[in-house]
Structure 1
Amino acid sequence: MSTFGEYFRVHTYGESHCRSVGCIVDGVPPGMELTEDDIQPQMTRRRPGQSNITTPRNEKDRVLIQSGTEFGVTLGTPIGMMVLNEDQRPKDYGNKTMDRYPRPSHADWTYLEKYGVKASSGGGRSSARETIGRVAAGAIAEKYLRLAYGIEIVAFVSDVGHLSLFPPTATHPSPCTNPGFLHLIESISREGVDSFLPVRCPDADANARMTDLITAFRDKNDSIGGVVTCVIRNLPSGLGEPCFDKLEAKLAHAMMSIPATKGFDLGSGFGGVQIPGSTHNDPFVPDTSPLPEVVAASGAARAGVPRPRLTTKTNYSGGIQGGISNGAPVYFRVAFKAPATIGVDQTTATYDGDAEGVLAAKGRHDPCVVPRAVPIVEAMASLVVMDAVLAQQARHTAKSLLPPLAGRTVPSGKPAGNGVTEGV
């Protein structure tokens, strides 16, 4: 359906050429300062028309908070947010050819099969325009996670077509063993990523080559795919719900719900199958790192959030073991296919199946989606983490209200009772 999350619940609405798109967010903690200025930066990073290798559709994507705040502070009630579609051109799709023929690899045919009716312009609900609501909701989650836990979520473009920032080799079949990749995910920031426009690949040479490749496909009215890599830092241990709601399962669900996604891998990913267990296992070591300053000064510390006692010497697991976060950075990759709507002549068949024909689709579309998918991936990651944090907070609070178990110990060796905190 159009709702994501359980504790932090997001419902999006809107099609590519309707009057507005947006979302309703339920479960936002009360008492947090929040205005449009907190949300707009991510909306601007996602907006169309930001470079000559994105769709020329000129939308400002100005977000308007409709409810759930007063005097710039969250009330704990549902937050409604809206973005007007100011540069909609449904007439671009109003020609007899596109009315008769479904676009190859697009959702035109499957939506018609499902509903018996479809939006006559653009991609309707399958359009990436729908992701505006996700990004707006994600910005709220990101602010809470940053203030309460010091969590940082940063995504960047790592591949376009055959070009890769960290191509697999015999020595490094997965980026997780590459020192350059490991340094990057420990240090990269959103400001750093955005200093490598228009592609958002954090390497000057790779960014230039990827720009040229996307431009070449754009000039041929064609398209190309790519990969977005994302890292989540300062994540508390203990997040994730066995067995079906494992943290990586929730992340995979979230990422694969983004339009045009075709693959997801976490940690060592598919390249990890070439690494033997004796090398792939992450040895545990004592964690002597200090708690992030923002956590030490936040309500999270007062609520009993501990510094993890252990960390791992390597991180091939990608920060998750048994479906539960272990406190190390979580990192993953999301593959996006080449956009389906292109201006190249393609063979297809009429909706009724009576005739074959040739279709060159009209409209304004990205030749490659990954430069604008970066904030969408960050948003969906923040929604997953926010939901997991609130679930663990509920568990911790329920446990803290129980009387001590006199004379009993827990596996950690510490006395059981109100003072024991496992995870968040």
Structure 2
Amino acid sequence: MSTFGTLFRVTTYGESHCASVGAIVDGVPPGLELSAQDIQVQLSRRRPGQSNLTTPRDEKDLVHIQSGIERGVTLGTPIALLVKNEDQRPKDYSETDLYPRPSHADYTYLLKYGVKASSGGGRSSARETIGRVAAGAIAEKYLKQVHGIEVVAFVSSVGKINLPSYNQRPLGDDDENDDDKSEILSPEFIKLLKTVTREEVDKYTTRCPHSETSDKMTKRIIRAKEAQDSIGGTVTCVIRNVPVGLGEPCFDKFEATLAHAMLSIPATKAFEVGSGFRGTEIPGSRHNDMFISKPDGSLGTATNWSGGIQGGITNGEDIYFRVGFKSPATISQAQATAQYDGSAGSLAAKGRHDPCVVPRAVPIVEAMASIVLMDQLLIQNSRSATASLLPPITTLPPTMILPPKPATLLNGHQ
């Protein structure tokens, strides 16, 4: 479907080369100061034509707020957001009337609906993510203002070029305990997760906040572009100052909804949270997050290999995860493939396309993370507010319950 969320609901609309794209956002709390510029910042980070590493399609992606706001304040009613498609070139896609592009959605959309958009992939195009980014910017402003939540994503790999993150060395043939000695994540990478900012990320056209690695990524993307080819990569995201208790076991665990959100982004193929696949190689004695007492008296963890989520519920530590994006399917290099009627042919796609999507995917990942957070926060606040109206529990041991707290209202005040 085109709607995501339970209480904070985002519905996107529009195809790649139609008149406009955008979103309707329902569940925004009333009283939030909001302007078009709050949204435009993220849309401008996502827009095409930012550098020679992206598609040259010239879209300004200016957002127009249609409803839900008066005098710069949200009303609590649905907010409609519209972005015009100004640089349309549907004729660039005439060859897709004959050929389903390899690894693209042309064929599956036609099989599913019995009809497909004539140009640019329609709803499967990354143009659809404009609505997500606009909605995510709204969620992000509330999360930052009320809870101080920070959401920062960055490019962590392009092709086989990886941002240094692991201290790994080959296992010795005669040392079965060698896996006990390697680090799960390098200290440098852990520090990056704790300190990286969007300003640092945006210093680089690759959006990889590591100078040496960024230079290598740039060369790799340009090599793909010059060969009329493409290359994939990964985006890592960290969320800081996350409230505890978010997530709805059993089927809407926080990491489950996060994975749902991320894998709904076009071109995604992989998702991991915390130590991810690396954690499968480490014994539990080293992978477990031991509890410690924090200066404020609350419990925390000495490590955070869980990525801020345990049992599907946020534990207050930083959340970090990684999303894998495949190499873009549409390339100008001639490929031997079949036409819709089954006859053999050769397709060299026209149009303007990204040789690598990960630099522009960074604000999309941030947006979907913010939407998940906002939705789960509203759900948990509704539970807490309802429970706070009941008398204190006296029939259970003290270690099984927390002291009752006043309801946390949607504006963040007690």
Q: TM-score range by the shorter chain?
A: over 0.9
1:145–1:167 CA distance, 2 compared to 1 (3 A): closer
Query: Which AA in structure 2 matches 1:194?
Result: D
Matched position secondary structure for 1:177: coil
Paired residue for 1:186? 194
CA contact (8 A) 1:404 1:418 kept: no
CA contact (8 A) 2:167 2:183 kept: no
Of 279, 285, 289, 1:278 maps to: 285
Paired residue for 2:173? none
Per-residue CA distance 1:53-76 (angstroms, 9 max, x = gap): 100000000001100000000000
Query: Which AA in structure 2 matches 1:146?
Result: K
Of 266, 269, 272, 1:265 maps to: 272
CA contact (8 A) 1:20 1:82 kept: yes
Distance 1:80 1:419 in 2: 34
Paired residue for 2:175? none
Matches within 5 A, 1:9-408: 9-94=9-94, 97-166=95-164, 168-170=166-168, 176-196=184-204, 198-288=205-295, 309-353=298-342, 355-405=343-393
Matched position secondary structure for 2:363: helix
Counting aligned pairs with the same residue, the percent is 64
Matched position secondary structure for 1:103: coil
Per-residue CA distance 1:94-149 (angstroms, 9 max, x = gap): 2xx43211110000000000011111110100000000000000000000000111
Distance 2:82 2:152 in 1: 25
Instruction: Specify every segment of 5 or more residues in structure 1 that has no aligned partner in the other structure, as ranges.
Output: 290-307
Distance 1:349 1:320 in 2: 46
Query: Which AA in structure 1 matches 2:115?
Result: V
Distance 2:184 2:122 in 1: 38
Distance 2:136 2:329 in 1: 26
Alpha-carbon deviation of 1:175?
8.0
Paired residue for 1:299? none
CA contact (8 A) 1:166 1:175 kept: no
Matched position secondary structure for 1:155: strand
CA contact (8 A) 1:266 1:317 kept: yes
Alpha-carbon deviation of 1:405?
3.8
Alpha-carbon deviation of 1:287?
1.9
Query: Which AA in structure 2 matches 1:344?
Result: Q
1:376–1:413 CA distance, 2 compared to 1 (3 A): closer
**How many residue pairs are counted as aligned between the two chains?**
399
Instruction: Specify every segment of 5 or more residues in structure 2 that has no aligned partner in the other structure, as ranges.
Output: 171-178
Distance 1:210 1:200 in 2: 10
Alpha-carbon deviation of 1:411?
2.5
Alpha-carbon deviation of 1:406?
5.2
Q: TM-score, normalised by structure 2?
A: 0.93
Paired residue for 1:300? none
CA contact (8 A) 1:414 1:420 kept: no
1:418–1:44 CA distance, 2 compared to 1 (3 A): closer
Distance 2:100 2:33 in 1: 46
Per-residue CA distance 1:308-364 (angstroms, 9 max, x = gap): 8211000010000000001000000000000000011111111122x1111001110
Q: TM-score, normalised by structure 1?
A: 0.91
Query: Which AA in structure 1 matches 2:22?
Result: G
Distance 2:236 2:15 in 1: 27
Distance 2:25 2:197 in 1: 26
Query: Which AA in structure 1 matches 2:348?
Result: A
Matched position secondary structure for 1:411: helix
1:357–1:175 CA distance, 2 compared to 1 (3 A): farther
CA contact (8 A) 1:58 1:87 kept: yes
Distance 1:13 1:205 in 2: 40
